[in-house]
């Protein structure tokens, strides 16, 4: 199938030209053949008139002079023959050129019989050697000196060689000229198409300029047929940019708004530190310590720092216009360990049993992206699981030790992360929908339904793949493949 619009049009035009000019050539060929046959008939009729002009009556009927006016009648092998027959078909005379030609009874009867007086018959016959000839028969009524009328049939024959040569010459010229016309028309058609489709190429170049950031809108002069398309594209581009700017502004405002409460939390942490110091002085005199206060302060400090990193990360994404990913090697194991420690504190009331199966592996990208994906997935596993969560990570070459059902279609050496829980799982019909922003399969737990969508967006940016399945623990299993 031709994928080029110009190629399709040129192919269609070529087919139309071949069909049209082919039919035109056939029509012209048939018309020329009929014209040539009529010309042959007229020549044979003139030859018969010439024979009639020299015919004379005798007591035996009719005779013609030995030397005829047409030289071809007087020589053998000229291809022109003359005959005179009576009304019964009996031959009375033949020209000297016809001494070596014979016809069978059937062919002779087809030429001379069943002719009315003054009637002429034109057609083709074959001699006994199989040569095809044109013939013209003409029946006359000869009135003699005794007022007695006698019927005669004058016939002229001619071979098809001159006719066939004329037809072949015409065909060679005809198809030669038609072939030249086809080539010329195709060249003209190609130039016309190139000129006619140039606005589409200009449109493609302008869109590429917008994609590369060299232009903001489609500003060229386009024909009226595609002017509506370009106008709607400009409206769409403007709308998308306004929407993107709105998203960017909203996210920036949200991140900026969170800076203040985070600063307050840090201040409170500082107050806890002073309180802890004063308490420690008092408790030091008695020899006791305040481990609970120390643990609370450390936890709050750690989570505030984590929130501050998330806000900075999202703010950077909001104001950044570049989509290039900064690739660097990040060890996965320390991040997973740090994340699990935080989740144990968040979900301390559920007493979740965490299983970690880690192979030596690295993530090539932004550490904050990896933390964002792992944080959302592990948090979902803790939220919707009952009491067990399993986190596995490794490369595809070592997946046999990590998962009982390794994906065979991915490239060897890819980073694979698997998060499993023992909850109710995700029905197969909802697995694609939960990856869409704002969609939640379980409304019993709090949330906005954007966690998995955020993970899917980051995975797509890294040209990876996310898949939801059934875990051996009984709940959901989320697999990530990252290059």
Tens-digit pLDDT profile for residues 453-476: 888 888 888 888 999 999 999 999
Full domain range(s) for residue 305: 224-318
CA distance 452 to 462: 15
pTM of the model: 0.46
Confidence at 446, pLDDT banded by 50, 70, 90: very low
* Cα pseudo-dihedral 286, 289, 292, 296, rounded to 10: 120
User: Domain with 274 in it: what CATH number?
Assistant: 1.10.287
Q: Do 342 and 310 have their domain in common?
A: no
Q: Do 285 and 391 have their domain in common?
A: no
Nearest to 417 by CA among 362, 351, 350, 462: 362
Would you state the pLDDT for residue 317?
59
Among 167, 182, 208, where does a domain finish? 167
Q: Do 11 and 156 have their domain in common?
A: yes
User: Does 182 reside within a domain?
Assistant: no
Among 263, 297, 318, where does a domain finish? 318
E strands, 342-446, where? 353-358, 362-364, 388-395, 415-421
Q: Is 250 left (phi over 0), alpha (psi -120 to 50) or beta?
A: alpha
User: Domain with 110 in it: what CATH number?
Assistant: 3.30.450
Q: Do 344 and 311 have their domain in common?
A: no
Q: Do 335 and 450 have their domain in common?
A: yes
User: Does 214 reside within a domain?
Assistant: no
User: Does 178 reside within a domain?
Assistant: no
- Condensed to tens digits (0 to 9), the pLDDT of residues 169-204 reads 999 998 889 888 888 888 888 888 888 878 878 887
121: three-class secondary structure by DSSP: strand
User: Domain with 452 in it: what CATH number?
Assistant: 3.30.565.10
User: Does 452 reside within a domain?
Assistant: yes
Domain count, the chain: 3
Q: Do 275 and 329 have their domain in common?
A: no
Q: Which of 97-101, 105-109, 137-141, 301-305 has the lowest mean pLDDT?
A: 301-305
Q: Do 335 and 308 have their domain in common?
A: no
Q: Do 18 and 127 have their domain in common?
A: yes
Q: Do 264 and 309 have their domain in common?
A: yes
Q: Residues 61, 121: contact at Cβ < 8 Å? A: no
Token code pair at residue 186: 């195709």
User: Does 235 reside within a domain?
Assistant: yes
116: three-class secondary structure by DSSP: coil
Please give the residue that has the higher pLDDT: either 337 or 275: 337
Dihedral sign, CA of 212, 217, 223, 225? positive
User: Does 172 reside within a domain?
Assistant: no
In degrees and rounded to multiples of 5, residue 22 shows phi and psi of -65, -45
User: Does 138 reside within a domain?
Assistant: yes
Q: Which percentage of the chain shows pLDDT scores above 90?
A: 25
Q: Do 60 and 149 have their domain in common?
A: yes
CA distance 403 to 394: 10
- Alpha-carbon Rg for the chain, nearest whole angstrom, is 51
User: Does 212 reside within a domain?
Assistant: no
Q: Do 261 and 298 have their domain in common?
A: yes
Among 298, 318, 338, where does a domain finish? 318
Average pLDDT for the chain: 80
Q: Do 233 and 335 have their domain in common?
A: no
Q: Cα dist. 398→42, 224, 480 in Å?
A: 97, 61, 15
């Amino acid at each position: 199938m031709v994928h080029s619009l110009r190629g399709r049009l040129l192919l269609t035009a070529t087919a139309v030209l071949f069909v049209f000019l082919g039919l035109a050539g056939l029509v012209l060929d048939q018309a020329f053949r009929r014209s040539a046959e009529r010309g042959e008939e007229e020549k044979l009729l003139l030859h018969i008139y010439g024979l009639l002009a020299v015919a004379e009556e005798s007591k035996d009927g009719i005779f013609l002079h030995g030397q005829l006016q047409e030289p071809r009648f007087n020589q053998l092998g000229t291809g022109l023959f003359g005959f005179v027959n009576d009304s019964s078909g009996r031959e009375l005379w033949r020209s000297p050129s016809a001494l070596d030609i014979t016809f069978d009874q059937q062919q002779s009867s087809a030429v001379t019989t069943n002719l009315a007086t003054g009637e002429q018959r034109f057609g083709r016959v074959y001699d006994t050697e199989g040569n095809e000839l044109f013939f013209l028969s003409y029946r006359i009524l000869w009135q003699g000196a005794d007022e007695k009328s006698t019927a005669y049939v004058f016939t002229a024959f001619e071979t098809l060689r001159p006719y066939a040569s004329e037809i072949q010459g015409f065909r060679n010229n005809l198809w030669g000229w038609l072939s030249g016309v086809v080539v010329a028309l195709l060249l003209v058609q190609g130039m016309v198409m190139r000129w006619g489709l140039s606005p589409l190429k200009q449109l493609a170049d302008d869109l590429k300029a917008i994609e590369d950031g060299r232009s903001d809108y489609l500003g060229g002069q386009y024909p009226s047929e595609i002017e509506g398309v370009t106008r709607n594209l400009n409206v769409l581009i403007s709308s998308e940019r306004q929407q993107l700017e709105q998203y960017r502004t909203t996210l920036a405002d949200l991140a900026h708004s969170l800076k203040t409460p985070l600063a307050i939390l840090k201040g409170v942490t500082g107050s806890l530190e002073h309180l802890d110091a004063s308490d420690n002085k008092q408790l030091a005199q008695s020899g006791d310590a305040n481990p609970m206060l120390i643990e609370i302060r450390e936890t709050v400090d750690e989570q505030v720092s984590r929130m501050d990193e998330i806000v900075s990360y999202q703010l950077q994404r909001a104001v950044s216009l570049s989509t290039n990913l900064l690739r660097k090697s990040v060890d996965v194991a320390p991040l997973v360990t740090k994340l699990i420690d935080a989740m144990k504190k968040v979900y301390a009331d559920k007493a979740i049993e965490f299983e970690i199966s880690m192979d030596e592996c690295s993530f090539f990208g932004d550490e904050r992206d990896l933390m964002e994906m792992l944080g959302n997935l592990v948090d979902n596993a803790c939220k919707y699981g009952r009491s067990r969560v399993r986190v596995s990570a490794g490369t595809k070459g070592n997946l046999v030790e990590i998962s009982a059902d390794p994906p065979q279609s991915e490239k060897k050496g890819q980073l694979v992360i698997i998060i499993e829980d023992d909850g109710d799982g995700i029905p197969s019909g909802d697995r694609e929908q939960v990856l869409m922003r704002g969609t939640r399969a379980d409304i019993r737990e709090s949330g906005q339904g954007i966690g998995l969508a955020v993970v899917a967006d980051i995975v797509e940016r890294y040209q990876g793949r996310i898949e939801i399945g059934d875990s051996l623990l009984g709940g959901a299993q989320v697999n990530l493949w990252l290059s």
